[in-house]
């Protein structure tokens, strides 16, 4: 499957989730969205969500410490589950977004084309 990403500079602690800006061209890591070419809007790295020997309470055991690029709504869903299951959850955002590396806006709407509005089908 390839390299999970750059060497983890951010190592979130227990019940901590670190966020980072995605690189250009990174896609959401869910299979469905990757196939659909959904761009990632945030890179999510999970700390230890519980104890490894208590699977019932631990969340996403196999994902700890790996950076996961996610589409916005996917991150929202992930965060909601994490917050519900890990009440002491802390989310650390990136220090500052770099200029020129903004995530693409969610809007697909185009401004109306000026001029020939009278042309009906
Ligand atoms: Zn997704």
> In which residue are the tokens 């690189």 written?
23
Do the bridges between strand 42-46 and strand 16-20 make them parallel or antiparallel, or are there none, so unpaired?
A: antiparallel
CA of 71 to the centre of ligand 1 (A): 5
CA of 43 to the centre of ligand 1 (A): 11
CA of 100 to the centre of ligand 1 (A): 23
Return the domain boundaries, the chain: 16-92
The per-residue pLDDT for 110 is: 55
pTM over 0.75: no
CA of 73 to the centre of ligand 1 (A): 7
Q: What is the spatial distance between Cα 45 and Cα 66, in angstroms, rounded to a whole number?
A: 6
Residues 6+ apart with CB under 8 A from 109: none
Are the CB atoms for 59 and 80 separated by under 8 Å?
A: no
Are the CB atoms for 8 and 45 separated by under 8 Å?
A: yes
The per-residue pLDDT for 24 is: 94
CA of 99 to the centre of ligand 1 (A): 25
CA of 117 to the centre of ligand 1 (A): 37
Query: What mean pLDDT, rounded, does the chain reach?
Result: 81
The per-residue pLDDT for 27 is: 97
Q: What is the pLDDT along the chain (121 residues), one digit of tens a residue?
A: 555 555 545 689 999 999 999 999 999 999 999 999 999 999 999 999 988 787 677 888 899 999 999 999 999 999 999 999 999 999 998 766 556 555 555 555 555 545 555 555 6
């Amino acid at each position: 499957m390839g390299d999970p990403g750059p060497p983890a500079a951010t190592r979130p602690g227990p019940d901590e989730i670190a966020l980072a800006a995605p690189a250009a061209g990174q896609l959401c890591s869910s299979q469905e969205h990757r196939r659909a070419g959904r761009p990632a809007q945030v890179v999510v790295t999970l700390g230890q969500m519980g104890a490894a020997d208590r699977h019932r309470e631990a969340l996403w055991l196999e994902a700890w410490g790996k950076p996961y690029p996610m589409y916005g709504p996917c991150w929202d869903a992930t965060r909601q589950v994490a917050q519900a299951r890990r009440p002491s959850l802390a989310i650390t955002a990136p220090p500052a977004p770099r200029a020129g590396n903004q995530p693409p806006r969610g809007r697909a709407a185009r401004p109306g084309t000026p001029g020939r509005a009278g042309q009906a089908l």
